A and B are shown apart, each in its own frame.
Chain A
């Protein structure tokens, strides 16, 4: 089952979007769920975030980081790659949360930000506040689209070159202090989840974060993505990928994602050499 690439666009110098034909996945996928893709038969199975699924196509946001994501970037529109499998994981419960903040500071998080805002804003009684953070102005994307699917939108830039200087947590803190946030969803840099968890816990605001540990099959078979939630072992692929930020052991999670750091470098180097 090969999947055809319909659209490929740079989002910024590091990130790109890829729209692929995947009717079976597109028909079923819900916000919060993810896909697993393989570039070719010798490829690895890697989890990817989905921004939207329409007309039998799935749009993923990808950062050119490891070997697979760079290799995939070199594929052209019209090319086919091995497969997009899914949906994997659990969907977010789309219901009335009240004032709900959806935050992101990294490519996968931005994709989910859109999917979540779009679904949550359709529920009566929700006031959806979307927030994005980028390191600098030239990396910004999805601003207009997010404005379109949220009731309130903030953009923060870490070097102050655009929007509000700082991180989304700064805005979030102010809004929480004003009693304007009932629920938080966040996706992106996992080390940033620690201060986010501290902030929301201090004010007793529930927060769900997307965990993306290393996965293989992503169907609950290998246990590679085990995370510890309130001391109990859970699998991010089938029990997540979203978990209560106040219960996750982030220290262990941040260690586990370093497992193949050296191998990732070898793979990238090897790919650059041999193409």
Chain B
């Protein structure tokens, strides 16, 4: 390679499903790079010596390393490089907020488009799946057993590493399908379920026992796990919805985003009546909130034929959603109503007919660094809607926690851990269960870190 690299400011465009098609189908929006496109994009990488991308990655993927291999057409080597740090590239490449992580730190980003790291990562993940390329490792079995509660991102990554250390691993999953939020939360058009299923197939191949419909606290007690297993990892996520707590939430037509997404993703309500689970999506849907879950709900509703309004108390620029989700939502014709907060939901004959909103203005920055929204008194107005989806965040599910009073938790039900992610002896936790809600990649990183802690704990006994 020559010393002087010609700077190409623009990304190789990602082919996407047309906006027209998108509003009719739940198929994936990005169509994926071809080999040639992926290599061209990879060739734009400057191969910075200090790799700011890697430093800004929660699991420190060797980004310039894998991109170098990819640029040279060594797909297998590139894939294996990612796998050293990230067990699920096809998923992370699709759902990580790259603009605030690797791509946010990319040097080219200062003068042009940052390298499309996320799409290169998912390209390699998909390529490996299509070509049956697997990470090759020999498992030296030992007879110690570890139980993992929850089959979401942190449980998956913890399971993979624990198997590599040689432990027998059993995952307990409450639902009838594995994958946690990847399965019930993130829609098909953003993360095709066949990608999730492939990753789970891989877990089974390396000997992880996944037990579906096992609800720890209901049909398996925590004590049974403690008796039967040498260590436990809790990756139960933050699966319980918050409601705003305003008048009218009992009305028909009001959904938590969790319900809306569980019905569409897990139960495939968009294929009703081929699938049995229904979902009533009206003609005018208001989504409260502007994070990724709000975008997922809004875009799902759009695909089911509704006019959709995102109702947000700050402005677009302050939306915590991934850049790509926000862009896709706007392209798909979703209206973004800025600087409004709901004060009550209005109904007639038990059904939603509208929402009362109060106008907001931006004040001084709050703890999150974003401007604090302040109510403009007397500015209330009514917007006609027939469906309201509340996407204002989730919290750990109290169903599990209340059966295990011995665990240390905060008053908000967040599981407390020390620097090794240990709660009580031999019991570790990570992911949204300890954060209250963060990213897939952070959960994944914590799953790996916990696996290491479990290994240190069990190998010293």
Contacts and interface: CB of A to CB of B under 8 A. Distances in A.
**Pair from one complex:** yes
Interface of A: 1, 24-25, 28, 38-39, 42-45, 67-68, 82-83, 85-88, 216-217, 219-224, 226, 228, 233, 238, 249, 252, 255-256, 258-260, 262-264, 266-267, 270-271
Contact of A216 (B251, B259, B268, B274): B259
Contact of A220 (B240, B267, B272, B277): B240
Which 10 residue pairs are nearest across A and B when measured between Cβ atoms? Answer: A263-B278, A255-B350, A222-B259, A44-B276, A223-B256, A252-B250, A44-B277, A270-B273, A220-B399, A85-B213
Interface of B: 174-176, 184, 212-215, 218-219, 239-241, 243, 245, 249-252, 255-256, 258-259, 262-263, 266-268, 272-278, 280, 350, 397-399
A221 B219 contact: no
Contact of B250 (A42, A43, A222, A249): A249
**Which secondary structure dominates where chain A touches chain B?**
mixed
B250 to A, nearest CB: 4
Given A44-B276, A258-B350, A267-B273, A222 B258 contact: yes
Between A28, A223, A224, A264, the greatest number of chain B beta carbons within 10 A of the residue's beta carbon is seen for A223
27 contacts: A24-B219, A43-B276, A67-B276, A82-B176, A88-B218, A216-B262, A216-B263, A217-B175, A217-B262, A219-B175, A220-B239, A220-B240, A220-B398, A221-B262, A222-B258, A223-B241, A223-B243, A223-B255, A223-B256, A223-B258, A233-B243, A233-B249, A256-B350, A258-B350, A263-B278, A270-B273, A271-B273
Given A221-B262, A226-B243, A263-B272, 12 more contacts: A28-B219, A38-B176, A42-B268, A42-B276, A44-B277, A87-B218, A88-B218, A219-B175, A219-B239, A221-B258, A226-B249, A267-B272
A261 to B, nearest CB: 10
A219 B401 CA distance: 12
B337 to A, nearest CB: 24
B275 A42 contact: yes
Nearest to B402: A238
A228 B176 contact: no
A219 B258 CA distance: 12
Given A255-B250, A258-B252, A263 B280 contact: yes
Between B176, B218, B240, B267, the greatest number of chain A beta carbons within 10 A of the residue's beta carbon is seen for B218
A249 B272 CA distance: 31
